[in-house]
Amino acid sequence: MSIKSSMIMVILSFVMIVSTSCSSEKEQIVIYTSVDQVFSEPILKAFQDETGIEVLAVYDVEASKSTGLANRLVAEKDSPRADVYWSGEFVQTMMLKDEGVLAGYHSPNAEDIPVYAKDAEGFWTAFGGRARVLLVNTDLMDIQDYPSSLTDLLDDRYPGAEMGLAYPLFGTTSNHVAALYSVWGREQALAFFKALVHKDVAVVDGNSVVRDMVADGRLHMGLTDTDDALGAVRDGAPVELVFLDQEEDGLGTLVVPNTVSLIQGGPNPENGQQLIDYLLSAETEKVLSEIGWFEISLRNNGHMESQLLDGLAAMAVSYEDVYRQLEISSADMREVFLR
């Protein structure tokens, strides 16, 4: 190696570091999002193109959906790096409010979002929605054998190895667990999940993995979200969506909205507000619905964008009730699934 080539190496390293580190004098915004990168990235790119504000994003990975990022925000509370948190669920967002991580902001674009979907002090705003669904493989199951209720999953007709769910500590699955704690009570809900573990049900790294395993035929059925399930339908996989507990007076299925919040003490609060306005606009909601991220709008009394979801019976449970169960349900699920 000559002195000349060594010098070239050193200069090249310096130039590369400087070019990637000192990004610019441009206005910036830092967003942490647990929304799948494939959906959130085009939206953030469009915001950047429209406003000229550079968006620095931290995306979550499937295995630790929402929880990993929420914990990171708590850890950074004393010197926040993020301006906005956009989540694919709501309970972690409510936890962040209690931890003092969030700041209040009432977006003008949220005026037509119903009151129940907004924090009174503006710490978070919910929008859009995905439903929890049982995805079944139609090659492996006959329609008359489909379960109709969550509790059917404990039936001996359905071996544990043939069904799956994502880790109940993360993402929408953790919301689903907390919701069941709220409507069933701790005893029944804990017994249900213990029974699933006893059946040796497949616990995988995310709802998309459940979708893939059902679509590939490695599982007969699995609990997932509508965006993942509909993705498999669009790909032509032999699958069908089954909404559980839809009978009259039934439990209904949980609808999980997105939430967006401003971070307390974030470095770019004004840009943060601008991004929140953008995300909460009816136009962005429409785009998110068109690209397949969610199918339900909280505007217009929960109008379903998708024909498939029309007439869906949603679980009658308030966000606050679900959130109140989070601490105890998470502790139980850690005990049941991680120890």
Partner 1 sequence: MTHGTRTENLLITFLVILAGIIMLFPVGILTIMGVGFGMENPEVFREILSDRALTLLTRTITHACLVAISATVMGLICGLAVWNIKGIPATWSLYTILVLILIPSYIHAQSWIFLVDRINETFTGYDFNGFYASWFVLVMAYLPYVIGLTLIGLYSMDKELIENGKLYGGPLRVAASTIIPQCYSLLVTAFNIVFILNLVDYTIPSLFGIRVYPMQIYARFSAEPNPGLAFIDSLPLLIIGGSILYLTYKKALSFSIDMHGWGDKRAGNDLEFSNSFMFNGLMIIGIVVLLFQIFVPVINLVIEADSMTALIQSRTELMHTLTASFLAAITGTILALGLSEAMVKSHAMRRIVSPVLMFTYIMPAPLIGIGLNIFGRIIGDAISNSIVIIALAGIIRFLPIATALMYVQYIALDSSVLDAGRLFMSNYLEYQFKVKMPLLAGGLMGSAGILFALTAGELGATLMVAPPGKGTLTIKIFNYLHYGASGTVASLCLALFVIIMIPGIGFAVRKLMGQSKTE
Residues that bind partner 1 (CB under 8 A): 1-3, 6, 9-10, 12-13, 16-17, 19-21, 23, 28, 30-32, 36-38, 41, 45, 54-59, 61-64, 67-68, 71, 74-75, 81-82, 167, 169-170, 203-206, 208-209, 212-213, 216-218, 231, 235, 330, 334, 338-339
Give which of 150, 229, 233 is closest to 189, Cα–Cα.
150
Closer by beta carbon to partner 1, 19 or else 301: 19
For 140-188, the DSSP string reads: T--GGG---SGGGGGSTTS-GGGEEEE-TTSHHHHHHHHHHHHHH-HHH
Q: CB of 145: closest distance to partner 1 in angstroms?
A: 22
Closer by beta carbon to partner 1, 18 or else 316: 18
Q: CB of 30: closest distance to partner 1 in angstroms?
A: 4
Q: CB of 68: closest distance to partner 1 in angstroms?
A: 4
Q: How far is CA 223 from CA 111, 112, 176, 240, in A?
A: 33, 32, 10, 12
Q: CB of 16: closest distance to partner 1 in angstroms?
A: 4
- Report the b/e string of 247-273 with b at 16+ CB within 10 A: eeeebbbbbbbbbbbbbbebebbebbb
Residues 6+ apart with CB under 8 A from 334: 169
Give which of 45, 97, 111 is closest to 259, Cα–Cα.
97
Cα radius of gyration (the chain):
22
Contact between 145 and 130 (Cβ < 8 Å): no
Closer by beta carbon to partner 1, 212 or else 245: 212
Q: Taking phi first (over 0 means left), then psi (-120 to 50 degrees means alpha), and beta for anything else, what does residue 250 get?
A: beta
Q: CB of 235: closest distance to partner 1 in angstroms?
A: 7
Contact between 332 and 196 (Cβ < 8 Å): no
Closer by beta carbon to partner 1, 41 or else 152: 41
Contact between 223 and 210 (Cβ < 8 Å): yes
Closer by beta carbon to partner 1, 112 or else 335: 335
Closer by beta carbon to partner 1, 82 or else 221: 82
Contact between 96 and 86 (Cβ < 8 Å): no
Q: CB of 280: closest distance to partner 1 in angstroms?
A: 21
Q: CB of 107: closest distance to partner 1 in angstroms?
A: 22
CA–CA gap between residue 103 and residue 266 (Å, rounded): 9
Q: What pairs with residue 127 in β-bridges? A: 258
Q: CB of 111: closest distance to partner 1 in angstroms?
A: 30
Q: CB of 114: closest distance to partner 1 in angstroms?
A: 30
Q: How far is CA 33 from CA 43, 131, 178, in A?
A: 12, 19, 21
Closer by beta carbon to partner 1, 7 or else 121: 7
Closer by beta carbon to partner 1, 3 or else 316: 3
Cα angle 4, 6, 11 (rounded to 5 degrees) comes to: 95
Closer by beta carbon to partner 1, 157 or else 339: 339
